[in-house]
A and B are shown apart, each in its own frame.
Chain A
Amino acid sequence: MTQPLHFHPSEGFAARARAATADPALRKGFRGAMDFLQTKRQAQFTDAAELSDLRDLGAAIRRYSLSRLPELLQQLETNLVANGIHVHWAENADEANAIVIDIARRREAKLVIKGKSMVSEEVALNHALEGAGIEALESDMGEYIVQLAGEGPSHIIMPAIHKTKQQIAELFAAKVPGVTYTENVDELILIGRNVLRQKFAEADIGLSGVNFAVAETGTLCLLENEGNGRMCTTVPKVHIAITGIEKVVEKLEHVPPLFSLLTRSATGQAVTTYLNLISSPRKPGERDGPEEVHLILLDNGRTQAYNDEQLRATLQCIRCGACMNHCPVYARIGGHAYGTTYPGPIGAIVSPHLLGIGATHALATASTLCGACAEVCPVRIPIPELLIRLRNEAQSAADSGSELRGAGESRSVLVSMIFRAWALMYTHPMLYRIATWFMSRGRALTPTAQGAWTGIRTPLVPAPKRLRDLLAERNSRHE
Chain B
Amino acid sequence: MDSPIQAVRRYPSKPADVYLFATCLVDQFAPDAGLDAVRLLEREGIRVHFPQAQTCCGQPAYTSGYPDEARAVAVAQMKLFPEPWPVIVPSGSCGAMMRHHYPKLFADDPAHLPVAEELAERVFELTEFLVHVVNFQRADRGDPYTVALHTSCHARREMNAHLTGHALLAGLDQVTVVRQVREEECCGFGGTFSLKHPSISEAMVTEKVESLRATGAERVLSADCGCLFNILGRAEYLDKVAACSKPSLPGEHIASFLWRRTGGGEQ
Interface residues of A (CB under 8 A from B): 14, 17-18, 21-22, 27, 48, 51-52, 55, 328-329, 332-333, 365-372, 374-375, 385, 388, 391-396, 415-416, 419-420, 422-423, 425-427, 429, 432-433, 436, 439-440, 451-453, 455-463, 465-472, 474
Contacts and interface: CB of A to CB of B under 8 A. Distances in A.
Interface in B189-238: 189-206, 229-230, 233-234, 236-237
Nearest to A31: B207
B76 interface: yes
Contact of B73 (A393, A427, A461): A427
Contacts of A469: 31
Given A21-B200, A452-B194, A460 B29 contact: yes
B264 interface: no
B1 to A, nearest CB: 6
A375 B157 contact: yes
Nearest to A364: B65
A208 B142 CA distance: 65
A328 B2 contact: no
Secondary structure class of chain B's binding surface, majority of residues: helix
Interface residues of B, number: 70
Contacts of B234: 456-457
Interface of B: 1-3, 22, 24, 26-32, 34-35, 38, 50, 52-56, 58, 60-69, 72-73, 75-76, 104, 153-154, 157-158, 184-186, 188-206, 229-230, 233-234, 236-237, 240
A21 B206 CA distance: 11
Contact of B69 (A55, A385, A420): A420
B52 A429 contact: yes
A476 to B, nearest CB: 13
A75 to B, nearest CB: 34
Nearest to B1: A48
Contacts of B191: 368
23 contacts: A328-B186, A332-B200, A332-B203, A365-B193, A366-B200, A368-B201, A369-B63, A370-B190, A385-B104, A388-B65, A391-B65, A395-B66, A422-B60, A422-B61, A426-B56, A426-B58, A427-B72, A452-B201, A456-B201, A456-B202, A456-B234, A467-B27, A468-B22
B52 A332 contact: no
A344 to B, nearest CB: 13
Contacts of B190: 367-370
Contacts of A423: 61, 66, 68-69, 72-73
Nearest to A328: B186
B199 A457 contact: no
A420 B72 CA distance: 10
B248 to A, nearest CB: 13
Nearest to B75: A427
Contacts of A18: 199
Contacts of A453: 194-195, 233
A319 to B, nearest CB: 21
B199 A22 contact: yes
Contacts of B30: 463
Contact of A458 (B52, B185, B233): B233
Contacts of B64: 391, 395, 415, 419
B199 A395 contact: no
A51 to B, nearest CB: 7
List the 9 closest pairs (A to B, CB-CB), nearest first: A368-B190, A395-B65, A457-B233, A391-B65, A370-B153, A370-B186, A423-B69, A467-B31, A452-B198
Contacts of B204: 328-329, 332, 368
Contacts of B195: 451-453
Nearest to B197: A366
B69 A372 contact: no
Contacts of A474: 35
Nearest to B35: A470
A365 B195 CA distance: 11
Given A365-B193, A467-B26, A460 B2 contact: no
